[in-house]
Structure formats: C-alpha cells, structure tokens
C-alpha cells in the first residue's frame, strides 16, 4: 500500500508541474526545468550518499551544481580555474591573445575560411552556448575572441 500512495503523490506533483509549465514562457520553462532537474539530482545525491554510493553521489552532486548554479563544480574544475569569487568559469591562468590556429579550432574552421564562414560559425556556436541559453560567459567570450582574432579586430 505504501508504494501505491508514494506513486500517487509523485503523479500528483508531476501533474501540477505539467500544468504550471504549460502556461510558462519558454525562457521561464527552461529555468524551471533546470531548477527541477537540479533539485531532483540533489535528492538523488542524498539517496546515493545514504546508501553508501559516494562516488556516484559526487557525480549526481556535480550535475545538480551545474543545473542550479550554471557553473562547473569546484571538484571537477581543472587546475587554474577561478574560484567562487570571480566571474563564471573564467580561468585565472594563462592570459593573452588567442592564436589564429586556436581561433580556427574554437570555431571549427579550416585555414582559409572566408569572412562569411567565420561569421556563420560564430553565430551557430554563440546561439548554442550563450549564457542566456544556459551556457557560460567563459565559452561565449572564447567564441567572440576567436571571431575577433580571425577578423583581425
């Protein structure tokens, strides 16, 4: 009888969420889905920790962190990445300008790409990873820098 009641409660919550999401704007829907996913992964993290599966709990916690905060969790950042006090996911290590080869790699282009190719690749990538779409400002900055390097700005 207990699992039946729990199932009915979960079903009721899902129906309430579906009703709320059906009236939401697309941008609010994305935010709500990220929040819901983060909370769900947080609960999974707790369950995995309680059952002794700590390794999997860290992975679930990383997913929850990424969904809720939009950044890479500190325990998964490579050395030299900025801490919580800086901007989102901006490395504090190497500074300077990007080389032409790096810029081509970032935009996924070959040497000899035309200005139109550069602009098209930039637009395609920036639409996918823009911070407003759930990406990070670091990636958007790198894509913008690559375009600027290739267009000699």
Give pLDDT tens digits for 4-56.
898 899 899 889 878 877 787 878 777 877 888 888 888 999 998 999 888 88
> Is the per-residue pLDDT at 131 higher than 80?
no
Domain final residue pick, 76, 109, 131: 76
Indicate whether 71 belongs to any domain.
Answer: yes
pLDDT tens for 55-110 read 888 888 888 888 888 888 887 777 655 544 444 444 444 456 788 888 898 899 88
* Same domain assignment for residues 16 and 59: yes
* Same domain assignment for residues 70 and 8: yes
Indicate whether 81 belongs to any domain.
Answer: no
pLDDT the model gives residue 80: 58
- Please report where in the chains the tokens 């990636």 appear, as a residue: 139
* Same domain assignment for residues 15 and 60: yes
Task: Give 1's DSSP letter.
Answer: -
Domain range for 137 is 100-150
* Same domain assignment for residues 6 and 72: yes
Strand ranges for 28-94 from DSSP E: none
Indicate whether 70 belongs to any domain.
Answer: yes
Radius of gyration over alpha carbons of the chain, in Å? 21
Token pair of 4, please? 């039946």
Distant-in-sequence, close-in-space partners of 131: CB < 8 Å, separation ≥ 6: 70, 88, 137, 140
Domain final residue pick, 29, 60, 76: 76
pLDDT the model gives residue 95: 53
């Amino acid at each position: 009888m207990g699992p039946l009641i729990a199932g009915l409660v979960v079903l009721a919550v899902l129906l309430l969420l579906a009703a709320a999401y059906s009236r939401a704007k697309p941008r609010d829907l994305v935010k709500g889905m990220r929040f819901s996913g983060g909370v769900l992964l947080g609960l999974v993290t707790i369950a995995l920790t309680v059952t002794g599966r700590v390794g999997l709990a860290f992975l679930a916690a990383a997913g929850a962190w990424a969904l809720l905060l939009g950044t890479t969790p500190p325990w998964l950042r490579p050395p030299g990445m900025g801490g919580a006090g800086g901007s989102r996911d901006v490395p504090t290590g190497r500074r300077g300008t990007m080389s032409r080869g790096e810029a081509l790699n970032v935009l996924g282009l070959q040497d000899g790409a035309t200005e139109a190719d550069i602009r098209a690749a930039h637009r395609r990538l920036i639409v996918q990873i823009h911070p407003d779409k759930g990406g990070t400002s670091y990636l958007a900055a790198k894509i913008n820098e690559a375009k600027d390097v290739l267009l000699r700005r």
